[in-house]
């Protein structure tokens, strides 16, 4: 007590942050939790405007196991629907890109307009009659930002521009709209998407995992700056050369490496429990790709894939339950894990 009677407590040292529990990274129930808590409500990059140029062009993919189709209507506007027929859940189109004047379900041929209304329940019978108005496609949300097409499975999602916030501002000055697709590669990793995201969000592992990259980058000065649902990496080179690039990550599963004349879009696409597909898409001004850039990023990806698969195996083995995060190197991981926790806490009890 002080003379004035106010209790004084000694300032407490900040404590070291614990990791998420290991059981959050494996098994069917955890996969379902991430699908509901995160991917059913967050914006995801699904493509590029060049995939959807003409009226009737579509792009079909999935967001963590939920099939979705984006289509450009006759009026030029994009619409998004769950790629599931109201009859018996057939697909409207197969995954990939193409062109249609209407959606004809691949199973029994119900026909939908590009705005989602049911035009014709092919040869269904009319006694009793079907209420066609109640059989429109399930809607989702789509928007375009700087040439990238984003979708949200939630038709009531907050606007993309509002949601991107500081991440969008961090891309200022880079000519994203002037770039065209040049090259794509993908890699399947036997690891939960969160293991890969966390690995992406720290440079602590560089000296051990990426020998070649470590000769270029001064890992001791590698920093990850944390924003609201996004991060920016700062990777000084050993030679002291100014790195003209900007490396950004946005919750939950997209990263953008921006340069004055190119960019690399990286997505961590969850494909099932303990499985993630890493998709790289390179863009340049003239569509030609730089073999050396592709070689280096492929090497880095293979090195990350190997370590992430090993971490996944250990998380599932049961010995390790929880660990600790470095206050010097792992603020990005801590921010990501906080977002995962918050997303799960927000879920209404099932």
Using CB under 6 A as the criterion, which residues of the chain lie in contact with ligand FES when the complex forms?
85, 87-90, 105, 107-110
Under the criterion CB under 5 A, does residue 330 sit at the interface with Fe ion? no
Nearer to Fe ion (CB atom), residue 266 or residue 304: 304
Helices 193-200 and 291-317 sit at what angle, rounded to 10 degrees? 120
* Closer residue to ligand FES (CB): 108 or 146: 108
Q: Residue 183 touches which of Fe ion, ligand FES, none (CB < 5 to 8 A by kind)?
A: none
- Binding region for Fe ion (CB under 5 A) out of 222-230, 287-295, 298-306, 323-331: 298-306
In which residue are the tokens 């009319």 written?
Answer: 126
Partners of 97 in beta bridges = 59
330 binds, among Fe ion, ligand FES, none (CB under 5 to 8 A by kind): none
Q: Which position among 143, 304, 330, 331 is part of the footprint of Fe ion (CB under 5 A)?
A: 304
- From residue 292, give the alpha-carbon distance in Å to each of 143, 236, 299: 33, 20, 11
Closest contact distance (angstroms) between CB of 39 and ligand FES is 24
Is 255 in contact with 247 (CB distance < 8 Å)?
yes
Q: Which does 110 bind (CB under 5 to 8 A by kind): ligand FES, Fe ion, none?
A: ligand FES
Q: Based on CB atoms, which residue is closest to ligand FES, 3 or 123?
A: 123
Residue 9, classed as helix, strand or coil, is coil
Tell me the residue number closest to Fe ion, measured at CB: 304
Report the residue number, 16 or 89, with the smaller CB distance to ligand FES: 89
Which partner from the list ligand FES, Fe ion, none does 304 bind, CB cut-off 5 to 8 Å by kind? Answer: Fe ion
Q: Cβ of 7: how many Cβ atoms within 10 Å?
A: 6
Q: What's the rounded Cα separation, in Å, for the pair 205 and 191?
A: 17
Q: Which does residue 117 touch among ligand FES, Fe ion, none (CB within 5 to 8 A, set by kind)? A: none
CA distance 189 to 206: 19
- How far from the centroid of its chain's Cα atoms is residue 51's Cα? 18
Q: How far apart are CA 311 and CA 25, in angstroms?
A: 10
Catalog residues that contact Fe ion under the rule CB under 5 A.
Answer: 304
């Amino acid at each position: 007590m002080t003379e004035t009677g106010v209790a004084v407590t000694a300032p407490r040292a900040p404590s070291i942050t614990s990791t998420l529990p290991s059981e959050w990274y494996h098994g069917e129930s955890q996969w379902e939790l991430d699908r509901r808590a995160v991917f059913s409500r967050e914006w995801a990059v699904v493509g590029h405007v060049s995939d959807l140029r003409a009226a009737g062009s579509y792009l079909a993919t999935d967001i963590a196991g939920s099939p979705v189709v984006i289509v450009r209507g006759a009026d030029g506007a994009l619409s998004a629907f769950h790629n599931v027929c109201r009859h018996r859940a057939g697909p409207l189109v197969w995954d990939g890109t193409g062109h249609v004047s209407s959606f004809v379900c691949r199973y029994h041929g119900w026909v939908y307009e590009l705005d989602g209304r049911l035009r014709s329940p092919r040869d269904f019978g009319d006694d009793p009659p079907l209420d066609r108005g109640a059989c429109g496609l399930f809607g989702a949300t789509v928007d375009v930002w700087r040439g990238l097409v984003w979708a949200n499975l939630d038709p009531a999602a907050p606007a993309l521009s509002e949601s991107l916030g500081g991440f969008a501002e961090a891309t200022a000055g880079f000519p994203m709209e002037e770039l065209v697709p040049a090259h794509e590669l993908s890699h399947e990793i036997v690891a939960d998407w969160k293991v890969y995201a966390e690995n992406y969000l720290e440079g602590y592992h560089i000296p051990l995992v990426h020998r070649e990259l470590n000769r270029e980058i001064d890992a001791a000065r590698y920093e990850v700056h944390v924003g609201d649902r996004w991060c920016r990496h700062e990777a000084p080179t050993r030679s002291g050369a100014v790195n003209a690039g900007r490396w950004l990550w946005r919750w939950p599963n997209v990263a953008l490496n921006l340069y004055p004349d190119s960019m690399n879009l990286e997505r961590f696409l969850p494909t099932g429990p303990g499985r993630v597909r890493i998709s790289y898409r390179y863009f340049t001004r003239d569509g030609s790709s730089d073999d050396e850039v592709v070689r280096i990023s492929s090497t880095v990806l293979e090195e990350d894939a190997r370590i992430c698969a090993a971490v996944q195996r250990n998380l599932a083995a049961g010995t390790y339950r929880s660990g600790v995060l470095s206050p010097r190197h792992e603020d990005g991981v801590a921010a990501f894990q906080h977002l995962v926790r918050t997303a799960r806490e927000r879920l209404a009890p099932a």
